[in-house]
Amino acid sequence: MRIAFVGAGNLATNLALALQGKGHELTCIYSRTEESARQLAQQIGCPYSTSLTDINACEADIVIISIKDSALQEVASQLNTKALVVHTAGSMTIDTLPQERRGVLYPMQTFSKQKRVCFSEIPIFIEAAKAEDLLLLQELSQSISQRVVEMTSQQRQYLHVAAVFACNFANHCYRLSANILEQHGIPFDVMLPLIDETTAKVHQLSPHDAQTGPAVRWDENVMKRHLGLLCSEQQQTIYKLMSESIHNDQLRPQENQSHRL
């Protein structure tokens, strides 16, 4: 397919390269910042522009908008094209786009410039206003991922907040752990086997069943000592709140069970 990109950030870069790798034709890359547009266009070997008029003029079957959520509505309103217009934002509804032919292609992953990701394992959640456009998005998505799921905007917003917990907040737990280690001269990489195993476990057990540590056992001596070792009030507050939440969760097996049905 012929694809134009509005945006040249982390997600756009990873997605554009993955699509090109599967033989799709990138027809134009737009970015507000010329340097970003040029960088990605050079990697792809396609034209770039800092004017949306060029996106409207270029030949494309699909225009993928991958920019920050707050700019989405305004930028989309300037697109005047017969192509299918889709955005990649997990937390924005399909109706943020004014186009009749509108859709969403949300690859649920954490993208950083410094690390390329392999798309084939990334779940892609798609939605389209028209049935034929859904088929188009399905075909495009399946060309790069083994796991393509249709999902409404309504459901996708819960997926997005769940992803914030599983990714951003889990990573912040690593960060807080690294902070403590740094303050005491212990290298962070001693923690990696534990982090790897914690992740490996939830492939086999539910996170509820996989939980260990002083909060599950409600070992008040250990928790009290831990609180005394933490040097910032924010760390202490997080320690208390997470421990209480773990403990509450363990006390409610019946309720948790029912969620699984």
Residue 125 backbone zone (phi > 0: left; psi -120 to 50: alpha; other: beta): beta
The residue count for binding its own copies (CB under 8 A) is 98
The answer to whether residues 235 and 176 touch, using CB atoms and an 8 Å cutoff, is: yes
Binding residue for its own copies, selected from 112, 131, 132, 254, defined by CB under 8 A = 112
Cα–Cα distance for residue pair 138/199, rounded to 1 Å? 30
Closer CB to its own copies, residue 135 or residue 222? 222
Q: Measured from the CB of residue 191, what is the shortest distance to its own copies in angstroms?
A: 5
Q: Does 9 bind its own copies (CB under 8 A)?
A: no
The answer to whether residues 101 and 131 touch, using CB atoms and an 8 Å cutoff, is: no
Select from 36-44, 45-53, 105-113, 129-137 the region that touches its own copies (CB under 8 A).
105-113
Q: Where would I find the H helices in 25-168?
A: 34-44, 52-57, 69-77, 131-142, 153-163
Cα–Cα distance for residue pair 102/65, rounded to 1 Å? 11
Q: Does 42 bind its own copies (CB under 8 A)?
A: no
Q: Measured from the CB of residue 71, what is the shortest distance to its own copies in angstroms?
A: 11
Residue where the block lists tokens 């363990």 = 250
Binding residue for its own copies, selected from 20, 39, 43, 179, defined by CB under 8 A = 179
What part of residues 209-248 is at the interface with its own copies (CB under 8 A)? Answer: 209-217, 219, 221-222, 225-226, 229-230, 234, 237-239, 241-242, 244-246, 248
Q: Does 142 bind its own copies (CB under 8 A)?
A: no
Closer CB to its own copies, residue 81 or residue 142? 142
The answer to whether residues 246 and 216 touch, using CB atoms and an 8 Å cutoff, is: yes
Q: Does 192 bind its own copies (CB under 8 A)?
A: yes
